[in-house]
Structure 1
Amino acid sequence: METRIVTLAAFHIVGYRIEATVEEFEAELRQSHYDKLIEKKGEIKHRKNDQVLLMQIYPSHEGFDAKVDPFTHVLCYEVDKLEDVPSEMITHHVPARSYVTCTHRGLESDIGDTYDYIYGQWLEDAGLVPECYDFEIWDERYQPESVNNEIDVYVALQS
């Protein structure tokens, strides 16, 4: 798996916040909120593009396990400005940060293997520490049920 470190400027997102475990999110909440976000995208002013982001924000307490503990999922779009936000959506500022990034190729249901590699092996081998969030970019290559699916994964790194 090809990984690289990139630095991204700060950005803003607008979308739906969901508190759930991975299993709860994947079982029903992801699809229902994704469909709702796509349906409402015309109401999100200042949207930069049509790429959906899945931002995942984790608690910073020791012993947190993303596979069993609930955490924050935000299905969203990147925006230029935080104005005229639909009332049922949240805004979030993402600071400038360095990330390890790679592209998950294959079924979305197998993306856990990509995260296991980054968090379990790559970060340790590189001697780097993750920040408490990551995100995925779902663009025109996003075909969750297809082996041709591609999702760009970004794991924030502590400075």
Structure 2
Amino acid sequence: METKIVTLAAFHVAGYRIEATVEEFEAGLRQNLYDKLIENKDEIKHRKNDQVLLMQLYPSHEDFNAKVDSFTHVLCYEVNVPEGMPPGMIIHHVPARSYVTCTHRGLESEIGDTYDYVYGQWLDDTGHVPECYDFEIWDERYQPDSVDNEIDIYVALQS
């Protein structure tokens, strides 16, 4: 799997936040939030583009397991100005940071294998330490039920 380290400037996102396990999120909450976000996207006045981001914010305790513990999911859009959001949406600030990035290719239901590689083998091999969040970019290549699906993953790294 091809990975690279990139540094991104700080940015803001606006969207819907929910606390859930991966299983709960994938069992229907994701689709409900996604549909709601798409339905209300034109109400986001300062939306930068049409790429949906899935921000995943993890607790910082050592025994956290993303596969079984609840954590914060934010389905959102990047915004140029962090104001004027529709009711029920949140604004989240993402600090400037370095990330390891790679592209998951294939069914979205198999994305766990890509995360296992990055959070397991890649981190072990490189000695980098993850920060407590990552995000996915769902652009025109996002076709969750197709083998042609592509999702860019960004895992935040500690400085």
| TM-score where L is the length of structure 2 | 0.99
**Structure 2 residue 122 is the aligned partner of structure 1 residue 122:** yes
Shift, 1:124, TM fit: 1.1
Query: How far does the alpha carbon of each residue in 1:28-66 deviate from its partner, in whole angstroms, 9 at most, with x for none?
Result: 100000000000000001100000000000000010000
Question: 2 CA distance for matches of 1:127 and 1:82?
Answer: 35
Shift, 1:123, TM fit: 0.8
Shift, 1:87, TM fit: 1.4
Question: 2 CA distance for matches of 1:139 and 1:16?
Answer: 18
Shift, 1:94, TM fit: 0.2
Query: How far does the alpha carbon of each residue in 1:60-104 deviate from its partner, in whole angstroms, 9 at most, with x for none?
Result: 001000000000000000000012111100000000000000000
Question: 2 CA distance for matches of 1:42 and 1:52?
Answer: 13
Q: What runs of 5+ residues in structure 1 fail to find an aligned partner? A: none
What is the aligned-residue RMSD (CA, Å)?
0.4
**Alignment-mate amino acid for residue 145 of structure 1:** D
How many percent identity over aligned positions? Answer: 82
User: What residue in structure 2 maps to residue 11 of structure 1?
Assistant: 11
What are the equivalent positions in structure 2 for 1:50-129 lying under 5 Å apart?
Answer: 50-129=50-129
Stretches of 4+ aligned residues off by more than 3 angstroms: none
Shift, 1:108, TM fit: 0.1
Question: 1 CA distance for matches of 2:44 and 2:19?
Answer: 22
SS of equivalent to 1:50? strand
SS of equivalent to 1:48? strand
Question: 2 CA distance for matches of 1:124 and 1:24?
Answer: 29
Question: 2 CA distance for matches of 1:29 and 1:152?
Answer: 21
**Alignment-mate amino acid for residue 155 of structure 1:** V
| TM-score where L is the length of structure 1 | 0.99
User: What residue in structure 2 maps to residue 28 of structure 1?
Assistant: 28
**Structure 2 residue 114 is the aligned partner of structure 1 residue 135:** no
Shift, 1:154, TM fit: 0.2
Question: 2 CA distance for matches of 1:144 and 1:62?
Answer: 31
